[in-house]
Amino acid sequence: MWTTIVLAVWGIYNAISFFFLMNPDLLHKHKDRLLMPTPTHHGKYIHAHKGGGDERPENSVQAYTHAKSLGITMLDTDVRLAQDNVLITIHDDNFMRTAGVSDLVVNTPSTSMPLMKDKVGGYDLQPSDSRAHTTLEQLFQAISSTDVLQIELKDIGNSVSRTTLVNLIQTYNRESTTIVGGSSSALNAQFRSLDSTIPIFMPSDSVLKYFILYITGLLPFFPIEEDVASLPYMYQERVHYVLNENPGWYGYLNVVVIWIMSHLCDPMIKHFNKRGIYTHYWTINYSTDLMREVLSTSIQGMLTDRLVQSLGVLNSMS
């Protein structure tokens, strides 16, 4: 008897949860902070990861100019604060990978940044390429205020970095087309205290929290503070990277969770979309993965370093 009752209650709970998972507008207000351009390929967005780091020097003005020349208006960058309180578009905390010197960004004035070396990431610099690192203000000046730019503030724990970033966004009237965020939801909340109109992306801890809420059926009933679901995508090379960075059981658990989110959680993605939350995977650099996401999932955007290849795949499917 008790088994029958428990199963009946469990069935009713799942039915109610699924109903509100598919109809979140009955419980939540649709988000509208982010002003999105119209998608042009199968209703999807190609999002230039670091500006398209396999085709131009990553996080440089020339990378974003190249992306724009291809018709891509969804952009992505990382920023850090230099010694003179100027924000630099760079991923690492030092210049070793981009310039071959170990100087820390925080100890280097923006006017004295080293020049990029011959190869950065997946790109071999050409004689015509500028080797200068880029400031965020230079990037803002190079793109349109209607281009959507996602910014990960690497030193988000620094209050000067947060304030400088928000002030720059406000100066260029980019509140509705700039997505910001960092490493944790607690620090992301500091952005909201500075300007509640700027869209925020989900950090890793929030993504994990919403994933747990989804598999337990509780997601439809919880408020979501963020405006963008930036979801990791699991592919073969990423498996090796994750296991190298996290040896032991935690690394394997990380791989399994990300793989499930990448391949078995389309109802969760649909739910996010219906709540007005822009969804994208990072990072997809292989044609087969891109075709799968376009054809079989509800994901709205794909971050990629290979813009020409990605556009070619989408155009071939049109």
SS3 per residue for 221-265? HCCCCCCEEEEECCCHHHHHHHHHHCCCHHHHHHHHHHHHHHHCC
Type of residue numbered 35: L
Greatest C-alpha distance within the chain:
78
Provide the pLDDT for residue 29.
96
Handedness of CA 245, 249, 250, 256 (dihedral sign): positive
- Structural domains of the chain ordered from first start: 44-317 (3.20.20.190)
The answer to whether the CB of 279 falls within 8 A of the CB of 273 is: yes
**Stretch among 25-39, 89-103, 217-231, 280-294 having the lowest mean pLDDT:** 280-294
Give the residue with greater pLDDT, 203 vs 295.
Answer: 203
- Burial state string for 166-191 with b = 16 or more CB within 10 A and e = fewer than 16: bebbeebebbbbbbbbbbebebbeeb
pLDDT tens digits for 31-41? Answer: 999 999 988 77
Q: For the CA atoms of the chain, what is the radius of gyration? A: 20
Q: Is the pLDDT of residue 57 over 70?
A: yes
Type of residue numbered 184: S
State both tokens at 283.
């990072």
Burial (CB count <10 Å: 0-12, 13-18, 19+), residue 219 = buried
How far apart, in whole angstroms, are the C-alpha atoms of residue 66 and residue 64? Answer: 5
Determine what percent of the chain falls in helix, strand and coil, rounding each to the nearest 5: 45, 15, 40
Provide the pLDDT for residue 318.
64
Question: Mean pLDDT throughout 25-48?
Answer: 90
Provide the pLDDT for residue 306.
95
pTM: 0.95
- Residue 110, helix vs strand vs coil: helix
Provide the pLDDT for residue 292.
82
Provide the pLDDT for residue 204.
92
